[in-house]
Amino acid sequence: MPILEAHDVSKQYKLSEQVTISALTHVNFHADRGELVAIRGPSGSGKSTLLHVLGGMDRPTSGEIALDGQPLSRLSDRELTLLRRRKVGFIFQFFNLIPTLNTEENILLPLLIDGKRKTQCLPRLDEIVSLVGLDHRRQHRPEQLSGGEQQRVAIARALIAEPSLILADEPTGNLDSAMGLEIIELLKRLATTYAQAIVVVTHDPRVAEH
Ligand code: ADP
Ligand code: MG
């Protein structure tokens, strides 16, 4: 059974009575255990929309998405929030870290929101901070970190709860090309350990090649 399955998924944005934008039309897609999938397309082609519906951040207009065999359309908003929290890790182009929290606090956030106590999470935190190479930046706030370091924090945050699925939206889009490739290498290395599948969308052909 695939980790993630999209069947005939369409998404329309209705702007007014006269204007509807079709962002996705009849998309079929699946990602299997251990897979890293890159989806490439120009700006405006529906990549972010696709990730939002795949990860349960938004609902499709029609079609069905199943995560770990569970059809998302049958879940209430509350159930969808819980599933997203426990099974999906998101990585964004602009990192989306909380500016007032330091590296450790940003990384731990998904576990704390899920009701875990900090002491319970510390061994896991130490492990993941080391793996993303941020041992020397644990107390820094985002503004005190480089772009590449901020994306490492975001990767650690996405992976800390060992989600089934990682969704990355242009994760290298705000980094220079050398740092972008480093981040993709890191994602590839970690995703196979901590996540069961990873989907990266990008407009950058060099990133997609990886
Ligand atoms: P990409 O990430 O590939 O650049 P998007 O998924 O952001 O593409 O957008 C696909 C299309 O849907 C674009 O035409 C965009 O303007 C439109 N769109 C995206 N989000 C919204 C929204 N919330 N409301 C209306 N239109 C939207
Ligand atoms: Mg986008």
Q: What is the pLDDT of residues 145-193, one digit of tens each?
A: 999 999 999 999 999 999 999 999 999 999 998 899 999 989 888 877 7
Q: Is the CB of 172 under 6 A from ligand 1?
A: no
In the chain, which stretches have pLDDT less than 50? none
Return the pLDDT at 205. 84
Return the pLDDT at 206. 81
Q: For CA atoms 12, 77, 171, 145, give the dihedral sign.
A: positive
Return the pLDDT at 210. 81
**Residue nearest ligand 1's atom 13 by CA:** 44
| Ligand 2 centroid – CA 12 distance (Å) | 16
pTM: 0.93
What is the C-alpha to C-alpha distance for residues 113 and 111, in angstroms, rounded to an integer?
5
| Ligand 2 centroid – CA 44 distance (Å) | 7
| Ligand 1 centroid – CA 160 distance (Å) | 29
* Region for residue 53 given its phi and psi (left: phi exceeds 0; alpha: psi -120 to 50; beta: otherwise): alpha
Please say whether the beta carbons of 188 and 91 come within 8 A.
no
Return the pLDDT at 204. 84
| Cross-strand partners of 9 | 27
Return the pLDDT at 115. 92
Return the pLDDT at 169. 96
| Ligand 1 centroid – CA 49 distance (Å) | 6
Surrounding residues of ion ligand 2, Cβ less than 5 A: 47-48
From the CA of 43, give the closest atom in ligand 1.
4
**Residue nearest ligand 1's atom 19 by CA:** 49
Return the pLDDT at 127. 94
**Residue nearest ligand 1's atom 22 by CA:** 13
Chain centre to alpha carbon of residue 197: 11
